[in-house]
Chains A and B, each alone.
Chain A
Amino acid sequence: MSTSPAVLSQETHEIASDSDVVRVRQSVRNLAIDAKLSLVDQTKLVTAASELARNTLVHGGGGRVTVEMVTAGARRGVRAVFSDHGPGIADIALALTDGWTTGTGLGLGLSGARRLVDEFDLVSDPGSGTQVRVVKWTR
């Protein structure tokens, strides 16, 4: 991409509890509707956001998310960046394979979320935390 997308609106939410995860879902859903994503794309994005928000809470020890409506050319999209200062992920490649899990989960969080969005970036360092950026565009 030659230019980075322009940001039309932005919201930031702290993720410190269960109810915050619900709030993040609603925020992402509202922005997805405003950006005119199809119903299926809305559902995919909100589901991915739910996974990532929960990851931030459960594995990251809490953190925050910035949700933005972006444009690139004629297309609109929704971008969400989750960040925490938790223990980080030591083996990212492993974490992104299906079935990987640290806890009692099904281990689908990251790899599953990646399939649901158009762009997925993960940066993690044991010691400084994790940051996940996802974007879903209108078709």
Chain B
Amino acid sequence: MTEPSRSGWDLLAAHRRQIVEQWSTVAAGALAGRITQAELDRDVAEMFDALTTGAVTGQHRLTDDAYAPMRDLLADLARTRARQGFSPTETAVGVFALKEAVLHLLESLGDLELYRFFADFSRLVDEVGLHLLESFSQAREMVISEQADALLELSTPVVKLWDGIVSLPLVGTLDSARTQVVMEKLLQALVETGSEHAIIDITGVSAVDTQVAQHLLKTVMAARLLGAECIISGIRPQIAQTVVALGIEFGDITTKASLADALLLALRRSGQDVVRRQAPQVR
């Protein structure tokens, strides 16, 4: 079993230039010019060398130690392709094109023995392709999560409403990751602006369940530890009903239906008030 295989790999090594060229050409066809030929040539040559280097040791599974450099190479390639916005197929095709290149060579040599080698070789290339796809998938997840983080940063603005009063309009869903960011931003803003009052407006929060209430509670408790008080505003009628139905107690945290009411309260708590002039102003 090993002898024909060894001669098969020797054959590949001997025809390196030809195989790499053919491989690159086939792959380029699928990638439709979105990557320079030079870059593709280089990627393909690197993969070929990593593959043949591993095969020389006699090991034939991608999970074997000899192929560690190959796996690292694949992980790098996957990350690059994911960030460049390639689809999974476009990425994988780059690997499977190798089979076509090798088959082409073997056909031209017409040696039946080598077809047995091709069966093993094909299996190895399949493993390589799958590993690449797996890494690609992980890399894509990472890109998505980074984008989600960036979105999170952008969507939690803390606005100064008045001297000593800031507001935090929350929009969308409140999960624990989001709450963490929200808490940090709010507390930081309280310290930086020296504000003792925060109005957390939840008009834009889609649903308030026990977990969301818990997150809000944690935020208020943290603010209190700093020496600031929170008012929760923007409670819609449905939310109010849900809160009561779920038995959620806001305890001694003040809640207001509107941001305006909350602002008025915060002003009064900080020793200020809003008055209506006796006579209308003359324009």
- Would you call B184 and A74 a contact (CB within 8 A)? no
Contact check: which of B138, B149, B177, B184 meets A40 at CB < 8 Å? B184
Would B180 and A74 count as touching, CB distance under 8 A?
A: no
Interface size of A by CB at 8 A reads 4
**Chain B residues whose C-beta falls within 8 Å of the C-beta of A73 in the assembled complex:** 138
A to B contact number (C-beta, < 8 Å): 6
CB-CB nearest in chain B for A41? B180
Minimal beta-carbon separation of A51 from chain B (angstroms): 18
Q: How far is the CA of A74 from the CA of B135 in the complex (A)?
A: 12
Interface size class of B (residues with CB under 8 A): under 10
Task: Chain A residues near B184: list those with CB within 8 A.
Answer: 40
Q: How far is the CB of B72 from chain A (nearest CB, A)?
A: 12
Nearest to B79 among chain A residues (CB) is A74
A139–B138 Cα gap in the complex (Å)?
15
Is B142 interfacial (CB-CB < 8 Å)? yes
Tell me the A27-86 residues at the B interface (CB within 8 Å). 40, 73-74
What is the chain A residue whose CB lies nearest that of B149? A139
A39 to chain B, nearest CB (A): 9
Question: Are A40 and B142 in contact, CB atoms less than 8 angstroms apart?
Answer: no
Q: Least Cβ distance of A139 to chain B in Å?
A: 8
A-B CB contact pairs (8 Å), 6 listed: A40-B180, A40-B184, A73-B138, A74-B142, A139-B149, A139-B177
Pairs of residues from A and B, 5 with the lowest C-beta to C-beta distance, nearest first: A40-B184, A74-B142, A40-B180, A73-B138, A139-B149
